[in-house]
Every structure is written in structure tokens, then in C-alpha cells.
Structure 1
Amino acid sequence: MNKQFSQPVKVYLAAPFFSAQQIQKVEQLEQALEKNQTVESFFSPMRCQHPEGLAPDVAQYTPAWAKATMENDVKEVDKADVIVAITDFDGQDTDSGTAWELGYAIGTGKPTYLLRYIEDLPTNIMLTERNTAFFTHPEQVERYDFLTSPSIPYDGKYQ
């Protein structure tokens, strides 16, 4: 799905951040998005684990926290122009939360862009075939023109 934009885009960054390695990947992608001239701003769920409006004394991993965090992430996907996602999950295909965010975004007509750090890791066709561009290095994201959104097809193994 190629869509052109007339002004820098708002990005939702979908990715797992449950291990030191995953956090490092998210940080690399955040840095690439910060340097990209065609990106106005980005929302990184890793940076918002206590959503605005949630009482400060509500602990993580409680039902109230889970509901508020989920609703905040959905709100941020809705506000974004595009979704950029890290698809590898510690040597496996995409984690379930990232897959849900991508599916929701695709269902609302938002363009998706995938980054996979592991070169030969198979990726599920449900993600690759509605995707605008597929990256294998954060530097590609840093230089990518989100305004014209040129297609970069997936050329890896399928799962």
C-alpha cells in the first residue's frame, strides 16, 4: 500500500521490548526515526508504560494498567500516519503484540514498514504482503523518504 504524504509523518513504532537485546533494537530504530527528515514525530510504546491519565499509584501488570496501556496504544496507532515495526522477536517471527498492532493498522488503512534485523529469518506472509517497505538495517529507515513512500518489497523467506 503506497501512500504519499505532503508533510512529515507521525510514526507509531511497534516492537517488542522484553529483553536487553530487544530494547537495544528499539533504541536503534528510535535514533533512525529521530534523524529522518520526513518524520515529524514518533510514538514508542516502550517509552510510555504509564499512560497519561492513569493514576500514579496503579502498578504495572494489573488489570487497570493493562486496560489503560492497551487503549493508549490504540489511540496512538489511530493518531499515526504510518506504522514502523520490528518483526524479529529473539530469533523468532513477530511477537503477538507487534502483530496485533500491525494488523490493526492495516485494517485502518495505514501504511506499514517492517524492519527485520535477522537477515535469514522467515517472516509471516500476513505481514509481508500488505507492507510498503521492508528494511534490514536501521540506517535504511534513517534515509527512507516517508513522503513518497517508495516500495521496497520483501525478498526473504516466508513462514
Structure 2
Amino acid sequence: MKTAYIASSWFNPAQVAMLDTACTKLQANPTLDWDNSFMPKNHTYKDWTLSTHPEMLADPEWQLATFNADVAGINASDLVVAIYDPALANSDPGVLWELGYAYGCHKPVVLVLPDTLTRDLNLMPAMGATVVLPLAKLADFNFARLYYQPFSGKVY
């Protein structure tokens, strides 16, 4: 079984819904070691959240600790699963940075897109991912046998 760093956003209800759906599917996947995978949302510095500590985004200590923990999580994982919705209201450059960092470290990246993608995808995540999947296929995807399956659609 493979361990994964789960790159995702959880800043609005649509992002949370996509992440929750992805997590349910990933937990059910027998080829992914969910218990030893790393999801930044579950490893926040001092267990701070925006609702309990709205000042954290301006706190340099929190910023550095969060950045370093996320980089360490990527480094310690076998691969990165990037849950990403390119719709402007849901797109998060942090997820794209994590995807790019993983690519630079020669880690496989599984880019998970909404089931009904209605817009073009930027060239860099489209071609930088090892595998591009719709959300619906996460529970059955074989993480033990990754081979290049790039995005097949229009890019910009």
C-alpha cells in the first residue's frame, strides 16, 4: 500500500464537499494506506483553525510551521493526491504549489478533478500530474500501479 499527501483546499463549502467526498473514497481504497497518509487539514499547527484562531494567517510562527509541516508531509509520502477544482471560485494556488513541489521531487502526482469538469485546465497541472482522474474513480484506482495518464482535454 502507498502513503499519500492529500493536497486540497477547504476554504469554502464547495471545496469542503469535494474534499469530504474524496476522503471517503480514499479511505475505501484498498491500495492506499490511509492511516499513514498525511492530510494537512488534520495536522494543523497547535490544532489551530480559522474559526478558533482567525489571526493565525498573519502569524509568522504559524506560517512557517505550517509550510514546513506540509513540505515534510510531501517528502515523507509515496505520492501526492491533489484534490483540485479549477473553477475560479474554488481554485487554490497552494494545491498547485504542492503539485509542483512533488513533481520537482519526482513524486507521482494523482490530480483529482470534479467529475463534470466544465472548463479548460492550465497546462502545468494538466501535464505535471502523473495521473489525472475524475473524483468518482478514487475508490477503485490502483495506487500501487501508477503509470502516466495525462489530462485529455483542452488546456490553456
Query: What is the TM-score of this pair, normalised by structure 2?
Result: 0.84
Residue 81 of structure 2 aligns with an amino acid whose one-letter code is: V
Unaligned runs of 5+ in 1: 1-7
State the 1:96 CA deviation. 1.1
2:100 and 2:128 in contact (8 A); partners too:
no
Q: CA, structure 1 residues 69+46, in 2 after alignment: closer, same or farther (shift >3 Å)? A: same
Mapped pair 1:134 → 2:132: yes
One-letter code of the match for 1:153? P
Q: Secondary structure at the match of 1:60?
A: helix
Cα offset, 1:34, TM superposition: 0.6
Within a 5 Å distance, the mapping from 1:1-159 to structure 2 comes to 8-41=1-34, 42-50=37-45, 60-61=56-57, 62-89=59-86, 91-92=87-88, 94-117=91-114, 118-137=116-135, 139-159=136-156
Is the 1:15–1:87 Cα contact (8 Å) retained in structure 2?
yes
Cα distance, 1:153 vs structure 2? 2.9
One-letter amino acid matched to 1:111: P
User: How many corresponding residue pairs?
Assistant: 145
Judged with a 3 Å threshold, the aligned counterparts in structure 2 of structure 1 residues 63 and 129 are, in CA distance, closer, same or farther, namely same
- Report deviation, 1:94: 3.9
8 Å CA contact 1:88–1:121 kept in 2: the answer is no
| 1:14 shift after superposition | 0.7
User: Within 1, Cα distance between the matches of 2:153 and 2:84?
Assistant: 13
Q: Show the counterpart of 2:50.
A: none
Aligned partners of 2:39 and 2:100: how far apart in 1?
17
Give me the whole-angstrom Cα distance separating, in 2, the residues matched to 1:121 and 1:44.
27
SS for the counterpart of 2:45 is coil
1:85 match: secondary structure: strand
Cα deviation digits, residues 75-111 of structure 1 (max 9, x gap): 000001111112215x228411111101110000001
- Residue type of the partner of 2:72? K
The 2-side partners of 1:110 and 1:150 are apart by: 12
